[in-house]
Chains A and B, each alone.
Chain A
Amino acid sequence: MKNKLIPFLFLFFAACSSGVTDKKHESPQYDGAPVYGDAFITAIASDASFLNPILASDTPSGAVNAMLFNGLLKYDENLNIACDLAESFEVSQDGLVITFRLKRNVKWHDGKPFTAKDVKFTYDILVDTNTKTPYSSSFMLVKELEIVDDYTVKAHYEQPFAPNLESWGMSIIAEHVFRGTNFNDAPANRKPVGTGPYKFESWQTDQKIVLKANPDYFEGKPYLSKYIIRIVPDSSVQFLELRNESLDSVDLTPDQWNAYDSFFKSYDKYRQATFSFTFLGFNRLRKPFDNKDFMKAVELAINKKDIIDGVLLGTGIEINGIYPPQSWAYKEIPKSEYDPKKALDILKSIGFLDIDNDGYLEYNGKPFDFTITTNQGNKQRELSAEIIQQHLKKIGINVNIRIIEFSTFINQYIAKREFDAVIIGWSTTLDPDQYSLWHSGQTAPRQYNFLSYNNPKIDKLLEQARTTFDMGKRKKMYHEIQDIMYEDPPCIFLYFPDSLSALHKRFRDVKDFPIGVGYNFIEWWTPRAEVKYSFQE
């Protein structure tokens, strides 16, 4: 499970979202002025690891940290870069210096003021090699972070770096909390102090995390008094809880999404396109997976429509590339065709032949099979694997399936390159820079190009595109990347899943923004008559 909120690339566990929304029911927007009170209860599938945005790299921690911390910049509701803790920012002509002027009325949860020192401290921690953070790479490109005065900082870059503004969405942590402690296991990692709309209250391991409204939040006190995150590991149990109305917000599987309407009497359903794609990737360090034609043949033998219709039930799209249509770098690319006959011809031309007539192909005279590995807990991926297994059986390729717990899968299989083929997904940033995914220099054990994709033309374009500021030129380069990838695909793209969720109807002022439903969370409220949980203030 990897984070979605901080703008970096992650291997994603279930669908993560930000994108265009499509609300199914319209809840009546009431009347009256907002009132304070009530609680919002949501569920996560596994416990958070660190309530420290620098160290946390998993979705559950990310979801909690987003309520507790702020970055200097953020994406606004229309996916434009906007100020968060910064009052304003300025990029120099050559793109090498960014000047941030900070908001003056921001206070940490313990009452101390937020200043430029905290920004500097966060930067120092990020580039410190002792810090166990996955987010350092973008900040390594900063030559110097200069404190001009208490409320002004300047970031100096060695060379132009196009996604640099996005990287400043990184949450800022408090210097006075961590100063003098061992950062990697500081007590504050379980008792966070941030600047966000909610303050930390309690954390019961594997039970729940409770946050309370921050009365001094710089955008105003949130109306909902408590934000409770319960840890409910099983999606079917989450759904049963939804039917009991004991959870206010639940992620849905496509089948749950299509379940009887009566289950959703008190809920609105939300569907959002995502910036994440699921793919079948082959390990190019092994034979015959390094052969372009082998992958081409496998792609021709898989009917992707079966997966979209039968597994996603239409709640996702088939795209033969790395960007979804809502990305500015998207280019329409022809879909792959389904032609098992042609697949078989290609396989025969590269040494596959059924010698002993057992219905399965032999490779260079030896029996051939391969294993598709995927993670537990994502039903769509498990079902996709079974469908692919069935489709490949039709052309005589014997496929085994292994389903493995997520962290074991990442650490023992992906990181060690111990796989033939995997079904997994990338949840990407809004910025189209995917240097770390496909550049041939990014193949070290912990790096992200675990498929060992190597195309010199792509390498060059990726390098150029991330140092180009001109949007038009950048766009052209990303279009070119997509064209080259069509000829030499890094993997077999299966689908872009939509994120599906349900939200209780008692909340008012819930708005659909292009970035997602929770954007204006601090403005949500419940009318007195419908308050479900009350607290003494």
Chain B
Amino acid sequence: MLFEKIKMKKLFRNKPAFCALILISIIVITAVFAPFIATHDPSAQDLPRRLSAPSAAHLLGTDDLGRDVFSRTVYGARVSISVGFFAVLITLFIGVILGMVSGYFGGWVDSVIMRFTDIMLCFPTFFLILIVIAFFEPSIINVMVVIGITSWTGLARIVRAEVLSIREREFVLASKMLAVSKTRLLFAHILPNAVSPIIVYAAIGMSAAVLTESGLSFLGLGAQPPMSSWGQILMQGKDYIYVAWWLSLFPGIMILLTVLSFNMIGEALRDILDPKDSKI
């Protein structure tokens, strides 16, 4: 417990990571309490006031159908955060299980899983996602699932490598001698010891997922109207960049901040969780 506390302290002492943590908290709170924070109904159209500049009535201006950009950005946070969260959840589920099974059992199981991982790695993820979305209807659920099932490969390899070394340790041998079941051994004994790289991967995976979702929505394959997402507002803004800068700027900043924050937290966690770093 003391150990955890010291780690948390280190995280807070790392200024960029601390700022990132605050930013992420704000964005998550925004996403959760979107209906209370938004000043307008995000899909309410007000055509006479379309493309009006930021003002007191519309904090970040309006889009091409007169919808409030601030409210749409707030609701967009929901899409980005939930896509990031669920995509990473799926990634973790697949990556951790395949990695552990592969690392622990070794032999032909390992070969089969790792060759399959190699095959998956051959395809550029973004194009794989494009193909899958083209086959199914574009929807935000599909985006989550597809990002999840295409980005587990790196994690599976990391987990496998960790497990390979952990399974040789004495406590594993001890557990085996006590006839602990394989599932229990894997999940209760080995997994907790391999958790640091997984946490780091998850944090960085969040940022990748948010970025991928924005990219897909920018191409019109993510969130479908009238739902709003940052990538989608950005795409709208592209057509009006010469008259309505606010349409591209604010969602762009939000994507930047979110991705940057997750990356910084990931970096900081990596430093802190590094066992070679002896300074406590």
* Residues of A participating in the B interface, judged by any CB pair closer than 8 Å: 235-236, 239-240, 243, 253, 255-256, 259-260, 263, 306, 309-310, 376, 379, 382-383, 385-387, 389-390, 400-403
Contact = CB atoms under 8 A, between A and B. Distances in A.
- Tell me the interface secondary structure of chain B in the complex: loop
Nearest to B51: A255
Nearest to A235: B239
A309 B64 CA distance: 12
A385 B239 CA distance: 17
A239 B241 CA distance: 10
Contacts, number: 54
B226 interface: yes
B47 A309 contact: yes
B43 interface: yes
Contacts of B243: 255, 259-260
B65 A386 contact: yes
Contact of B45 (A379, A387, A402): A387
A385 B47 CA distance: 14
Contact of B50 (A253, A263, A310, A390): A310
A263 B45 contact: no
Contact of A387 (B51, B65, B137): B65
Nearest to B45: A390
Interface string B43-66: 101011011000000000000111
A383 B239 contact: no
Contacts of A383: 64-65
B240 A255 contact: yes
The 4 closest A-B pairs by CB, nearest first: A310-B47, A236-B239, A401-B225, A386-B225
15 contacts: A236-B242, A239-B242, A256-B242, A259-B243, A260-B242, A260-B243, A263-B242, A310-B47, A310-B50, A376-B220, A383-B65, A386-B225, A390-B43, A402-B137, A402-B224
Size category of the binding interface on chain B: 20 to 34
Interface of B: 43, 45, 47-48, 50-51, 64-66, 137, 220, 224-226, 238-243
Contact of A236 (B50, B137, B238): B238
A401 B224 contact: yes
B244 to A, nearest CB: 9
Nearest to B137: A402
Contacts of B48: 309-310
Contacts of A376: 220
A376 B224 CA distance: 13
Contacts of B65: 310, 383, 386-387
A67 to B, nearest CB: 29
Contacts of B241: 236
A389 B242 contact: no
A403 B239 contact: no
Contacts of A235: 239
A138 B66 CA distance: 47
Given A386-B226, A387-B45, 5 more contacts: A239-B242, A255-B240, A310-B66, A376-B220, A383-B64
A389 B137 CA distance: 19
Nearest to B47: A310
Contacts of A236: 238-239, 241-242
A239 B242 CA distance: 9
Nearest to A371: B137
Contacts of B224: 400-402
A390 B43 CA distance: 8
Nearest to A240: B242
Contacts of A239: 242
B226 A403 contact: no
Contact of A403 (B45, B47, B220): B220
